[in-house]
Amino acid sequence: MEKEKNNPECGIRPGLPTGARLVHAGPQGPISVSFCVSDSFVQHLAVVLASLAANNPDDPFVFHVLHRDITPAHQRLLTDWHGGRDDITVVFHPVDAALFADFPIPPELEHVTQEMYYRFLLPTLLPDETRTIYSDVDVCCVGNIRPLWETDLGDNVLAAVSEGAAGEFKKKLIGLEGPAPYFYSGLLVMDLAQMRREDAVSRLFATTAAYAQRIAWPDQDVLNIVFRNRILPLGPAWDGINVRYSPYNKEVRIWHFPGALMKPWCNIWKNRTCPLYLKYLRRTPFRDRAAAFVWGHIKGFFWFTYTKKRVRRTLCCGVLVHKKKMKG
């Protein structure tokens, strides 16, 4: 691990929790799942971990968390949490934020941060693993993911869910032509070994710089450009982003909740996914926040403030009573 710790190229110091033993992941070993998250989203990360553990009771996991600011207290909460099991390991990998200081974040994407780019570093960060599943934290797992983990990638580097018709517009914005679909980057099966052989990290960084003035969905655009025709389409079961949520849908195994206002924690009155989120929140170290979460939304029904396109709006009982343009 010493070589990895002092690697100036990636600017990362991976670390295991005290006393933990990391079993190298591969298709036959523990399921490796990776996340990129800030401290403000640790609660949501915990919900994802709880949902994965609950719905995959016979599968060991190693969870990798890339971050720049997760507090030691929050790290301890999650490394000590095992969902009542002894075959789950949570590993935190601090990232040098300066590596991404110049990476573009379109101003209209107010709900995203530079952490979205951290997935680019996974081939370097996990040098002994042949693959990992990358996931955003605005998801809930409701089924077994072993088939996803064992997906045969063939000659492909990634597997992901297609955006369908909406992706054609995004392809035009970045100049992509041809029949290959445009893919979501919120859930990926990544062939880390092949990415290392192809020097993917350098290519991803170089492409981000070259397209900085054109990309609208930053990390997603770059991944579609670099791995064009090398992404295996996944079925909707693995990223229910294109399917209207229903608790009675037994085909979708991972529900994905995109957009700033469609998260399960945003508006319980308009979002039917909130009960699903609360179900797993109660299985996390943040379970004591569940009651406060519901009460906060009850109050929010009468008095709700949000910001969109740099305009802060305040509603009372659903009626707009005040709005103010934010500076900057």
Q: Give tens-digit pLDDT for 154-182.
A: 999 999 999 887 888 888 888 888 888 99
Kindly state the average pLDDT of the residues 91-112: 88
Lowest mean pLDDT among 87-91, 105-109, 123-127, 146-150: 105-109
Query: What per-residue string of b and e applies to 272-309 under the rule 16 or more CB within 10 Å gives b?
Result: ebbebbbbbbebbbbeeeeeebeeebeebeeebeeeee
* Structure letter (DSSP) for residue 206: H
Specify the 3-state DSSP secondary structure of 205.
helix
Give Cα separations from 97 to 78, 103, 184, 312 (angstroms).
22, 10, 24, 29
Proportion of the chain above pLDDT 70, given as a percent: 83
DSSP one-letter string for 230-299: -EEEEPGGG-GGGS---TT--S-SEEE--STT-STTT-TTT-TTHHHHHHHHTTSTTGGGHHHHHHHHHH
| Strand-pair category, 303-308 with 311-316 | antiparallel
Which domains does the chain show, CATH number per domain?
A: 2-242 (3.90.550.10)
pLDDT computed for residue 23 by the predictor = 40
Among 96, 40, 90, residue whose Cα is nearest residue 68: 96
- The mean pLDDT value of the chain amounts to 84
Residue 260: pLDDT band with limits 50, 70, 90? low
Phi (first) and psi of residue 128, to 5 degrees: -100, 5
Number of CB atoms found within 10 A of residue 185's CB: 21
Residue 28 reports pLDDT greater than 70: no
DSSP string for 61-106:
EEEEEEES---HHHHHHHHH--TT-SSEEEEEEEB-GGGGTTS---
pLDDT for position 317 = 63
Using DSSP, state whether 187 is helix, strand or coil.
strand
Question: Of 20-24, 48-52, 88-92, 224-228, which range is least confident?
Answer: 20-24
Q: State both tokens at 281.
A: 């929140």
Residue in the block written with tokens 């297609």: 162
pLDDT band at 90 (very low <50, low <70, confident <90, very high): very high
State how far the Cα of 324 lies from the Cα of 121, in Å rounded to an integer: 39
Helix axes of 218-226 and 165-173: crossing angle, nearest 10 degrees: 90
Kindly report which listed range (32-41, 55-64, 221-230, 262-271) carries the lowest average pLDDT score: 262-271
Average pLDDT over residues 67-71: 96
Taking the C-alpha atoms of residue 81 and residue 304, their distance in angstroms, rounded to an integer, is 34
